[in-house]
Every structure is written in C-alpha cells, then in structure tokens.
Structure 1
Amino acid sequence: MPHPVDVHVGKRIRHRRWLVGVTQQQLAEKVGIKFQQIQKYETGANRVSASRLWDIAESLEVDVSFFFAGMESTDADAAPQGAEQSAVPTDLLNDKEALDLVRSYYSIPEEQRRRLFDLARVLSDVA
C-alpha cells in the first residue's frame, strides 16, 4: 500500500505537469526515464527519490517544496474547533474545473491578467 506522502507528491507532480501542459512522455524525456515510471510516481505506486524529485522540479519549473505543499496537518496543528471554515475547497488540486481556470488564467497576457484578478477581488468582496 502506497505511503500517503508518496501519493500526495505524485498528485502534485501530475497537477503541475498538467498545468504547464507537459505530457508524461515529455516529462520522462526531460528527466531521462521511461514514461511508465512517471505514471508510477503520479499514482504513488513508486516513491520518488530526492534527486529524481529535484530533476522533476527543475523540469516543471517549481521549487521542490511545491510537491509537499498542502500536506494535511496533524490533529495538534489543526484549527481550533469553531474556527471559521474557508470557502475554498480543501483539495483544490483535485478540482478539474479549478485547475482549468488556473491554466486559462495564466494563458492571458500579464496586464489583462492583473485586471481580471482585480475584478475577481472586487466581485468576491461584494458577494
């Protein structure tokens, strides 16, 4: 049974790969392995070594820490009972619509993207 950290890291690899529009084959070629190995990493079936994770991070243009972001905290680190819940889903990376929105957002030229961001902020304050 895969370790939860391996599954989390694999999901983060898959989502980043998808966001930047890279196929498993393309990523595998950049890293110097077979695409089947990328598949195994992404499902958590195989553990990614530190050096391989470093290569993947460079290929996907993120810091290595990106793959560990969003790890669930322990009960001791959890928010106190009664704390206000966020309107943002806890597992945003599993929401295909949200990922598609992020990918579309980053394909917009920077000046227009800034304006869209400002508009979204205003609309969310009104709601």
Structure 2
Amino acid sequence: MSESKLPNRIDELVGQRIRWRRKELKWTQEQLSERLSLTFQQVQKYEKGVNRISAGRLYEMAVVLDLPVAYFFEGAEEYLSLPGQLNEDASEPAPLPQIDQEAMELLSAFQQIDDDGLRKSLLATIKAAAAIEPNNS
C-alpha cells in the first residue's frame, strides 16, 4: 500500500469524532453500521483511524450523524505535526486526547446549553480550573 493511502493523524481525529458523536447519540457500532449499510467492523476501523474514510462516505456519515462535515475536522490544527504544534520532545505530534465516560457526559450536557453567553462563561471557568495546579507544599 502506498504511503499516501495509509491512515494518518487526521484519520485518527475523524475516527475519534465519529465515536464521540455515536456515543453522544447512545448508538452502538452495530446501530451506526446499519444506518450506513456497513459492517460494524468497518465502523470500528473508521473509529480507530485504521481505515481512511472517502469523501463520499464522510458526507454520508455526516448526514446519518446529523452533523456538518466540518465537525470532523474541528481542532485538527492542534493535533497535526505543524511547526509549533509538537509535543515537548519535538519529534512527534501531541497525542489525541482520550475521552472517558465522564468527559462524554460533560460534552453532551455542554452541547445542550443554548445560551451562548453561558456556554462561553462555563468554558472559561473550566479552562481556569484546569490551569490551576495543586500546591505541592
């Protein structure tokens, strides 16, 4: 297989975003695969970023998941190996974040807030809380 056809970091990010949305909808891989006329193994490979998703399939995925196609690429710049975007050892891009059930619930609840001002305020509060380091004294 040529290197251009091998999955890359964007494929991993897109797969993770598919998984997030599927879990937000409380669908199993089997339920998503039925809606897409795929095997659940294919959905599993897409979610893991093992298989690349064609443009047509990604569009179909967006329709089934009721999302704009751009959703799958939101935040991509943060995960790519671009100048200034590498981790501390500067040899590899920063790893994709792992999302646990608690984070999924937080994301789902946050997305249900319609008030833009409240969403921005909550996001600022969460970012401030995350920036606070415990005192090691």
Q: Are the aligned partners of 2:14 and 2:47 in contact in 1 as well (CA < 8 Å)?
A: yes
1:57 aligns with 2:62: yes
Q: Which portions of structure 1, spanning 4 or more consecutive aligned residues, are displaced by more than 3 angstroms?
A: 73-76, 104-108, 116-124
Gapped regions of structure 1 (runs ≥ 5): 80-89
Aligned length: 112
Deviations 1:82-114 (A, max 9, x none): xxxxxxxx966x332222122245578x7xx89
Using the aligned pairs only, state the percent identity: 37
User: In the TM superposition, what are the counterparts of 1:1-127 in structure 2 within 5 Å?
Assistant: 2-71=7-76, 72=79, 75-76=82-83, 78=84, 94-96=98-100, 97-105=102-110, 120=122
By relative contact order (CA 8 Å, sep 6+), the higher-ranking structure is 1
Instruction: State the Cα distance separating 1:60 from its structure 2 match.
Output: 0.7
Which blocks of at least 5 consecutive residues in structure 2 are unaligned?
1-5, 86-94, 130-137
Report the residue type matching 2:24 in the other structure.
L
TM-score of the superposed pair, with normalisation by structure 1: 0.67
**Structure 2-normalised TM-score?**
0.62
What is the letter of the counterpart of residue 95 of structure 1?
A: I
